[in-house]
Amino acid sequence: MKKKFEHIPPFSLIPQLENREKSLTQLIKIKENSNNANLSGKIRVVRKNKTFQFYLITKKYDKEGTYLPRKKDDFAKALLQQEYDKKILEAGKKELHFLRKLTKFYKNSSLDAANNKFTKSKRIFIEPVQLSNSEYAEKWQNVPYVKKPFYETSSEFYTSKNERVRSKSELIIANALLQNNVPYRYEFPIELKTENGFITVHPDFYCLNINNRKEFCWEHFGMMNNDEYAASATAKLNAYIQNGWIPGKNLIISMEAAGTPLQTKTLRKLISSYFDDVLA
């Protein structure tokens, strides 16, 4: 069961609001500077067989309009585009006004803002309802658990934080996660339900997206050219899926085989896909 460290997570929508504001501002500028002339009237579109006919409406109470011949198609389309652009501009400006007010509120008056105003020295003596990313990451990584033992004959590989792992590929993955500030627990035990009862598995890396507090299992299958290993990996993957750990959602999978080693560019894309908003 996931351990709860805070009453409510930080509100992570602000970057999306700001990105939406930026996109709306650019769109409004483009539409305001468009080359469409100030055309008069509206277009009624009628589907006839496999083609469309255009009718020009210039009077308020005229619902039918005057038929436009084919040579007026470009004019009709320009008028339709102008009508659409006006509606988009009106809606975009309203949305932008609302988003700016909403973003300002969350930056200055929200629960997150009040929480962040307490200094570190004051926070020592209180129980905050939510933690900063660094506070949460520290508590999350310090959860005690029992790791799998290493055999005496096991090769020794140590990450940049001097943590022992089992293979060169795991060393590469661990260092990439550390470099990109992605918190993880190495071989953290989780329970999976199977037809024969519960089993404990130790995913290679149990990772955290610190911004949204979402947890991921990362399994690296390193000998997929070995039939016995591949069959075991397939069974393990099926057990994950049956327990709600879905590839592409909360289960990260990397693979390699003889002649096709783990590639750095593949690793970068995987980390970027799941942790893009926390990368250094």
To the nearest 10 degrees (0 to 180), the angle between helices 264-275 and 168-179 is 40
Residue 55 is inside which H or E element, if any?
Answer: strand 51-57
- Tokens standing for 48? 């006839």
Cα separation, 74 vs 190, whole angstroms = 64
Residue pair 68/25 in contact by the 8 Å Cβ criterion: no
pLDDT at 164 over 90: yes
Q: Determine the pLDDT at residue 35.
A: 64
Structure tokens at 64: 């039918």
Residue 8 near residue 111, CB atoms below 8 Å? yes
Beta pairing, strands 214-221 & 251-255: parallel
- Total-model pTM: 0.74
Whole-angstrom Cα distance, residue 151 to residue 168? 16
pLDDT of the residue at 166: 94
Are 235 and 195 in contact by the 8 Å Cβ rule? The answer is no
In Å, how far from its chain's centre is CA 247?
14
Whether the Cβ atoms of residue 131 and residue 6 lie closer than 8 Å to each other: yes
CA distance 30 to 24: 10
Query: Residues 235-252: pLDDT tens digits?
Result: 999 999 999 999 999 999
Residue 60's pLDDT band, with cuts at 50, 70 and 90, is: confident
Q: Reply yes or no on whether the pLDDT at 12 is more than 90.
A: no
Q: pLDDT category, 280, cuts 50, 70, 90?
A: very low
**Per-residue three-class SS string for 129-178:** CCCCHHHHHHHHHCCCCCCCCCCCCCCCEECCCCCEECCHHHHHHHHHHH
Question: For the residues 177-206, what does the mean pLDDT come to?
Answer: 94
Residue 34, C-beta contacts closer than 8 angstroms, at least 6 positions apart:
85
**Residue 11: pLDDT above 90?**
no
The predicted-structure confidence for 104-155, as pLDDT tens digits, reads as follows 998 888 888 888 888 888 888 988 898 988 999 999 999 999 989 998 888 8
Under 8 Å CB-to-CB from 130, ≥6 apart: which residues?
A: 6, 7, 8, 9, 10, 111, 112, 115
Assess whether pLDDT exceeds 90 at residue 38: no
**pLDDT exceeds cutoff 60 at 279:** no
Evaluate if residue 206 carries a pLDDT over 50. Answer: yes
- Asked whether the beta carbons of 53 and 45 are under 8 A apart, the reply is yes
Helices within the chain (DSSP H only):
14-32, 73-108, 111-116, 120-123, 133-141, 168-179, 227-242, 264-275
